[in-house]
Amino acid sequence: MLAAALMAVLGSLTSLVIPLALKWMVDGPVAGRDPSGVWLGGLVLLVLGSAEASLFWARRALTARPLARVEADMRASLYRHLQRLPVSFHDRWPSGQLLSRATTDLMLLRIFLAFPLTFLLVNSVTIVAGFLILLTQQWTLGLVLLAPVVPLIVLCRHFEERYSRAARSAQDRTGDLTTVVEESVLGIRVVKGFGRHRGQERAFGELAGEVRGLELRKAGLLGSLWAMIMVLPELALGAALVLGVVQVADGELSAGTLVAFLSTALALRWPVESMGFLIAITNESATAADRFFEVLDSPPPAEETASIPAQRTGTGKAGQAGARSGTAGGGSGAGEEGSAGLRLEGVEFRYPDAPADAPPVLRGVDLHIRPGETMALVGTTGSGKTTLTALIPRLHEATAGRITLDGQDIAALPRERLRQLVSVAFEDPTLFSASVAENVLMGAEGAGEPELVRALSVAQADFAHDLPDGTATQVGEQGLSLSGGQRQRLALARAVVGEPRFLILDDPLSALDVHTEALVEAALRKVLATTTALVVAHRPSTVLLADRVALLSEGRVTAVGTHHELLQENREYAALMSGDPHGEEERPR
């Protein structure tokens, strides 16, 4: 970058030498009627022009590759940071705002580094050097040209403040517009299904109109600045021309000096007039940088301090043996009977953006799932079941209490290690724009074809082999080329492919028909027999997969027992299993 800036400065200064060569030609060969001198002067001008063009070409060649690398590195840093930020951050930020920062804002920063950053330096050096030459040639005319400097500085400062505010508003609204477009595309089935395309068009049109208005405001501000930057120097140049002609007529100034003076002044027109454009891009880039670092400066979850072995002990059958001996982290001090398995002790959780006077979603949750046991978690809609399951892999951090795996506090486990031990099948089966195999094998690093085939068999997802390209078939964005049941089965396969020691299933069979559900349950029983599992259940058929059942009511575990015990002893549980509407009262999630 320094070499490129040096090339640009040298190229710009070369342009200032050309008027001096013109002065020599006018006062020498032209005045003396020397044709050979004129040809020599023409050759000098040709060499200077070629040198100027070559230097600017070298600047461009030197900046292209490094700037592309800077943009790519910044985008990679942003993406990597987004992967580390907690789920609560992504819950708060619209996806369109993040997309605009990763694309449009970084493009503005690259443009700034490629052009304005260099030319702010180049033009400043050129203007200073040019005015020194002008003052040396004829100081009175030079002072005339310097007259607009103070008004222009005041004008630029005023413009900078107003343009920065307009640029920030425009970029923020563009992010909102990106969100609307993304939601409309992803939710196109809902839009078409309810005939809401006109309403979506109106919402889009209103937001696009706001963006257009803000862009017009920016254009108006830039146009006003540019007009003043052009008019004031032109007036000064006209005054200097008149004064210079008078001095030539009085014999106080040679014609060659006036030609050189005017040529130098004209060479400074572009550096001066472009300052408005460069200031505008600089302000937009500064706003883009602010928006970029808003995300990059968001703190990721605190790093764990415990030293845990990195090897993947305890996956699969061998790992289950380790689980029964009681070590999630590979240590020897957690094998006591009371601490083995998955345990929640006094767990409380409140969402970070919840009102201060709102009750916590979970409060005083105590639950113990023994090694190799499957526990069903049952409760009304909004009772906190999904929230509780999100605490175990630390997608959210418990506000109070603690959660242990085989006696090891999950807060002391590195997240990478924790998520090797715990596998989750979420309520919403999210798939990525990748192949079936890539989506499933995402659940276990290093897993191969045998693990893929086994996981598909467990999840009754053998339909994948019959797809046009088998398991290499691309499932499309969010897997929307598949049915809801197919997506859910692939998500279940992803959860079991790594034979995890602890398995969290959030209503894994809700989108399956009765026949497929029975087949999946039969295969799933074999998997659950070799792992410690927590299964969110809404139907009796899913509850029957479990050894015991925990009833979650108003953020607390109010009852634990077998399915038959709770049916007989707990009225709320019996109502839930019978489909009694009183068991489905809405509570805050």
DSSP letters of 218-252?
HHHHHHHHHHHHHHHHHHHHHHHHHHHHHHHHTTS
Q: Which two tokens stand for residue 243?
A: 């004064």
Q: Which two tokens stand for residue 66?
A: 């490094």
Q: What is the CA radius of gyration of the chain?
A: 36
Residue 342 or residue 11, greater confidence: 342
The pLDDT of residue 375 is: 92
Interval 26-54 mean pLDDT: 74
Q: Which two tokens stand for residue 550?
A: 């925990």
Contacts for 226 with CB less than 8 Å, ≥ 6 apart: 273, 276, 277
pLDDT tens track for 276-310? 778 888 888 888 899 999 999 988 876 543 333 33
pLDDT tens track for 248-259? 888 887 777 787
Beta-sheet pairing, 532-536 with 556-561: unpaired
Query: How far apart, in whole angstroms, are the C-alpha atoms of residue 295 and residue 312?
Result: 32
Specify whether the CB–CB gap between 287 and 161 falls below 8 A: no
pLDDT tens track for 453-503? 988 888 888 888 888 888 898 888 777 788 878 888 888 888 888 888 999
Q: What DSSP line would sit under 490-542, residue for residue? A: HHHHHHHTT--SEEEEESTTTTS-HHHHHHHHHHHHHHHTTSEEEEE-SSHHH
Specify whether the CB–CB gap between 372 and 545 falls below 8 A: no
Sorted by where each begins, the domain ranges of the chain are 2-164+222-296, 316-432+496-584
How many percent of the chain have pLDDT more than 70?
Answer: 85
Report, at the CATH architecture level, how domain 316-432+496-584 is classified: 3-Layer(aba) Sandwich (3.40)
**Which among 434, 478, 482, 477 has a CA at the least distance from the CA of 459?**
482
Interval 189-208 mean pLDDT: 82
**Which among 166, 148, 155, 123 has a CA at the least distance from the CA of 12?**
123
The pLDDT of residue 586 is: 42
Contacts for 185 with CB less than 8 Å, ≥ 6 apart: none
Specify whether the CB–CB gap between 493 and 436 falls below 8 A: no
Can you say whether the dihedral through the CA atoms of 122, 125, 128, 131 is positive or negative? negative
The pLDDT of residue 347 is: 92
The set of long-range contacts for 444-448, using a CB threshold of 8 Å and a minimum separation of 24, is 444/315, 444/497, 444/498, 444/499, 445/420, 445/498, 447/497, 447/498
Q: Which of 3.40.50.720, 3.40.462.20, 3.40.50.150, 1.20.1560.10 is the CATH number of 2-164+222-296? A: 1.20.1560.10
The pLDDT of residue 339 is: 67
pTM of the model: 0.67
Interval 425-450 mean pLDDT: 85
Specify whether the CB–CB gap between 388 and 365 falls below 8 A: yes
The label of the residue with tokens 């002790």 reads: 345
Q: Residue 378 pLDDT more than 50?
A: yes
Specify whether the CB–CB gap between 363 and 524 falls below 8 A: no
Give the distance, in angstroms, between the CA of residue 21 and the centroid of all CA atoms in the same chain: 54
Query: How far apart, in whole angstroms, are the C-alpha atoms of residue 540 and residue 277?
Result: 68
Q: What is the mean pLDDT of the chain?
A: 80
Contacts for 343 with CB less than 8 Å, ≥ 6 apart: 367, 368, 369, 403, 404, 407
pLDDT tens track for 393-425? 988 888 899 999 988 999 888 888 888 889 888
Using alpha carbons only, give the angle 457, 459, 462 rounded to the nearest 5 degrees: 45
Give 5's pLDDT tier (boundaries 50, 70, 90).
Answer: low
The pLDDT of residue 369 is: 92
Q: Which two tokens stand for residue 225?
A: 């600045």
* DSSP for residue 349: E
Interval 216-234 mean pLDDT: 85
The pLDDT of residue 97 is: 87
Give 342's pLDDT tier (boundaries 50, 70, 90).
Answer: very high
The pLDDT of residue 247 is: 84
Can you say whether the dihedral through the CA atoms of 496, 500, 542, 189 is positive or negative? negative
Interval 573-584 mean pLDDT: 69
Q: Which two tokens stand for residue 319?
A: 């790992």
Is residue 180 classed exposed, middle or buried when 0-12, 13-18 and 19+ CB atoms within 10 A define those classes?
middle
Query: How far apart, in whole angstroms, are the C-alpha atoms of residue 7 and residue 393?
Result: 54
Query: How far apart, in whole angstroms, are the C-alpha atoms of residue 316 and residue 496?
Result: 10
Specify whether the CB–CB gap between 502 and 423 falls below 8 A: yes
Specify whether the CB–CB gap between 391 and 587 falls below 8 A: no
Q: What DSSP line would sit under 32-88, residue for residue? A: TT-HHHHHHHHHHHHHHHHHHHHHHHHHHHHHHHHHHHHHHHHHHHHHHHHHHS-HH
